[in-house]
Structure 1
């Protein structure tokens, strides 16, 4: 696992956008896994700016969803399908045919979960998966004590996660109790995992995920198992890291051609 400490969220967004641009230059049809929420917005804004300027050709890129609320219709403005189309797909000038995600409104949710896992495999697998981290250490919607071998499935959200997401709805009661999420085992199949965390509120979760033991109670600690995992944090989110100076030194000394 590589930890990169950046000055702020904008710098983190630019670094990850550069990494995605480099991937697309090598593999124009790469499958990019995206996360929702406010944290990754600087990444999407920086990537859209690069696409608009002609610095990167995104015309053949494919976008896939990490998770989805259960019970919200696809057209609901806070369904993650709507959010990804609004914040990622359309700003990049892509059509809906470039997008894939699980069906949270399906009559048979278990079948929809299994079908999404199959679809990801048939698409050749995820080349780069962008992740956020919850204050309780969750990735995707794999809440604490999720199996580290789990596949895409339905999960019940914790009270804390529903409270954290209430800001996107008119009232906390409107936040669904259930989601479809890629499992930790599914996430670990992506070729490159990039976790972005910003703000002091994420500092404890980041420290436990990076420096703590591998444990299901901190789902993000599963990144320790991955051969190419990158954790990008701003100074505030890095404030709980005991090895912060080491991470700064190793990144400063890294050959530029390696990227992240």
Structure 2
């Protein structure tokens, strides 16, 4: 596990974008696992800048998103489908057929999740997976007490996660209580992992994930067992290390 501490959020975002750009330059048809939320927005802006300068080409890249809310459609502005289009996909030359995302309106969830896993395997697995971390240590939507053996599946969101995500909605009552998420096993099968964290509110989770015992109550702690993890932090997120 490698830990990189940058001065601030902007520098952290640039560092992460350069790592992804290097991956794509070395392997133009890379399979990228992408995350949503506040933290990776800066990274996506930096990747867009690199694309606009013709420093990176996405036409052969394939992407799989980490998760999606269950019960909201793609047109909903709070869906992660909408988020990814607004923050990255609409701004680069990725081929639409190469974008894979969970369907939050899928009625046969188990079949859909199994098909998602099959597609990842068909493409040779995820070359580089981007993660954020929740205040309770979750990665993706894998909440505490997670099954480390789970693949892509439907999860029930904890009250802390619902409350944290309510800032994006008009009311906490509008926040979905379930989501489809890559499981820990899926994440751990990625060849490389980048975890991003910014701000004092993530410092405790980072400290417990990095220095604590591997524990299902801190899902991110399982990353200690992966052989190629880079954690990129700003100084505030690193303040408890």
Q: TM-score range by the shorter chain?
A: over 0.9
What is the alpha-carbon distance in structure 2 between the residues aligned to residue 71 and residue 188 of structure 1? 27
Give the stretch that moved more between structures: 64-73 or 199-208. Answer: 64-73
Pairing of 1:82-121 with structure 2 (within 5 A): 82-121=82-121
Secondary structure of the corresponding residue to residue 4 of structure 1: strand
Give the superposition deviation at 1:96. Answer: 2.2
Matched, 1:16 2:16: yes
Q: Deviations over 1:28-66 (max 9, x none)?
A: 011111111110111101111001001122222222110
Q: Deviations over 1:206-226 (max 9, x none)?
A: 000001111100000011011
Matched, 1:142 2:128: no
What is the alpha-carbon distance in structure 2 between the residues aligned to residue 101 and residue 127 of structure 1? 16
Pairing of 1:225-236 with structure 2 (within 5 A): 225-236=225-236
Give the superposition deviation at 1:94. Answer: 2.4
Matched, 1:160 2:156: no
Could you tell me the TM-score, scaled by structure 1's length?
Answer: 0.90
Secondary structure of the corresponding residue to residue 134 of structure 1: coil
In the alignment, what sits opposite 1:64?
A: 64
Structure 1: runs of 5 or more not aligned: 242-260
Pairing of 1:15-54 with structure 2 (within 5 A): 15-54=15-54
In the alignment, what sits opposite 1:197?
A: 197
Structure 2: runs of 5 or more not aligned: none
What is the alpha-carbon distance in structure 2 between the residues aligned to residue 21 and residue 183 of structure 1? 25
What is the alpha-carbon distance in structure 1 between the residues aligned to residue 178 and residue 229 of structure 2? 28
Aligned residues: 241
Give the superposition deviation at 1:92. Answer: 1.7
What is the alpha-carbon distance in structure 2 between the residues aligned to residue 205 and residue 42 of structure 1? 21
Could you tell me the TM-score, scaled by structure 2's length?
Answer: 0.97
What is the alpha-carbon distance in structure 2 between the residues aligned to residue 94 and residue 134 of structure 1? 28
In the alignment, what sits opposite 1:183?
A: 183
Give the superposition deviation at 1:120. Answer: 1.0
Give the superposition deviation at 1:69. Answer: 0.8
- Kept in 1, the 8 Å contact 2:60–2:95? The answer is no
Q: Are the structure 2 counterparts of residues 131 and 231 from structure 1 closer, same or farther at C-alpha, using a change threshold of 3 Å?
A: same
Matched, 1:151 2:151: yes
